[in-house]
Amino acid sequence: MPQRKKAKTSWRPKQMHTKHRPGPEEEWRKRLPKNDGSNKNSLREDQVGITEYVSRGAGFTGVVKSRFSDFHVNEIDLDGKVLQLNDLTVPKPAEPTLDEEELAAARQKFREIITDDTWNKMSTLAALGAKDPAAQPIDIIVTALDKTERGQIHDMLKTLYSSKLVGSTVTEVKDSTEERIIRVMKPKYNSSSEKRTRWNFPGEYVHFLVYKENMETSEAASRLASRIGIHPSNVNYCGTKDKRAKTTQKFCIKRRLPSQIVTAAQKSYVRIGNFTFSNNVLKLGDLKGNRFKIVLRHVNGDEVEIQQALENLRDKGFINYFGLQRFGNHADIPTYEIGVALLKADYKTVAELILKPRSNDLPFMAEVRKKWWKERNSAAAAAMFIPNEFIEKKLLDGLAKYGENDYAAALRKILFRYHATCSCFTLTPFKVLCSTVLHRDV
């Protein structure tokens, strides 16, 4: 009998998909065109008063910030130290320590106040895990004790059991009689009260360095604040740094665990480290300056003239103008106009300037602005966003929550600084001063 041929099959073993599948936010980001800084509708230097030079040499041309990696900014603190992110260690709270004699004395004093049965129960509870079903609260009746004596019990709890047990004073009514009780239990570390009682660091403020790339300082602060659960105004720093750059600067936040800040940073596209602690908050201007490393590309000019220009820069310096980033990215609606409206408390104009359609918008943002401008339906416009970090999204959410006409309440969801307006007011008379005095005297 002839041997039967095996039928061919197209079956193949099912392949495992090992490649990363981008989520909706990553797919959304792919649609964003890269910002190469060449937008023709951006502000020009002469529009904000940046026109003068220290010397009248021929000079030369070149391209600055062709890539954001061409521009490095490191903050210089008040001690003259150039800040560099080089320590990623996450500090842990210090556990209070007592020597054996102090510990024995505290135990003896505590046992004079509570019964042996309560002492044994507390020792057992301290040894249990927080999620153990047997870890039930223990009540110590303190009705006969005054406030000072109750405070001593709380202090001894912290001394003897530190992070293992906590106590809270409660009042209960039993048989028409009020009883004051100290309830001892395992700590719940996610509660705000525990964050306060467990603060064991040498200062009220956590100071740390932030390294960011191609991101506004205010955006980095807003992202961290959002993920920590605080208002952006509670994230403090000494000054804003360029967006199209690699920058390092110091931030500080009050009484937030370093581990919590690190987790927030991982989701905010920034890197942080070099933690320190202080009782002083950072304020705008608390720095000596910034160190810049700048790459010039496509340099075009005579070698002698280039050398002369560099010598002039070394010997005479330069006019330290505010950068264009201070005034925003849109020539149609510069940020100093928004600042003027803010100073006038004209909140409707502020909101409309932020959400008004403009000529150089990204395609998705143009759709959002057009929809809101035409329909004034903030909830529908906000739903067109996927990431939440845009101020337009925060403003639309505020209008949807507080009402389409409650502009003041909606604007409170955004952190505003008045730098652009102040800078513009400064540069206008400065331009006149430079034109009439500078070239005559230098």
d(Cα 400, Cα 247) in Å, to the nearest integer? 35
* Residue 333 and residue 358 in contact, taking contact as beta carbons nearer than 8 Å: yes
* Residue 208 and residue 274 in contact, taking contact as beta carbons nearer than 8 Å: yes
d(Cα 258, Cα 253) in Å, to the nearest integer? 10
* Burial class of residue 102 (count of CB atoms within 10 Å of its CB; 0-12, 13-18, 19+): exposed
Question: How many other β-carbons are positioned within 10 Å of the β-carbon of residue 309?
Answer: 18
* Residue 73 and residue 291 in contact, taking contact as beta carbons nearer than 8 Å: yes
397 has catalytic annotation: no
d(Cα 323, Cα 242) in Å, to the nearest integer? 8
Alpha helices in 15-75 (DSSP H): 24-30
d(Cα 393, Cα 230) in Å, to the nearest integer? 18
Crossing angle of helices 419-433 and 335-343, in 10° steps, is 110
CA 294, 300, 303, 306 torsion-angle sign: negative
Of 77, 242, 302, 315, catalytic: 242
* Burial class of residue 323 (count of CB atoms within 10 Å of its CB; 0-12, 13-18, 19+): middle
d(Cα 47, Cα 334) in Å, to the nearest integer? 10
Crossing angle of helices 347-355 and 391-402, in 10° steps, is 130
* Residue 131 and residue 81 in contact, taking contact as beta carbons nearer than 8 Å: no
DSSP code for 82 = B
Question: How many other β-carbons are positioned within 10 Å of the β-carbon of residue 291?
Answer: 14
d(Cα 208, Cα 249) in Å, to the nearest integer? 8
Residue 170's beta-bridge partner residues? 181
Residues with catalytic roles: 242
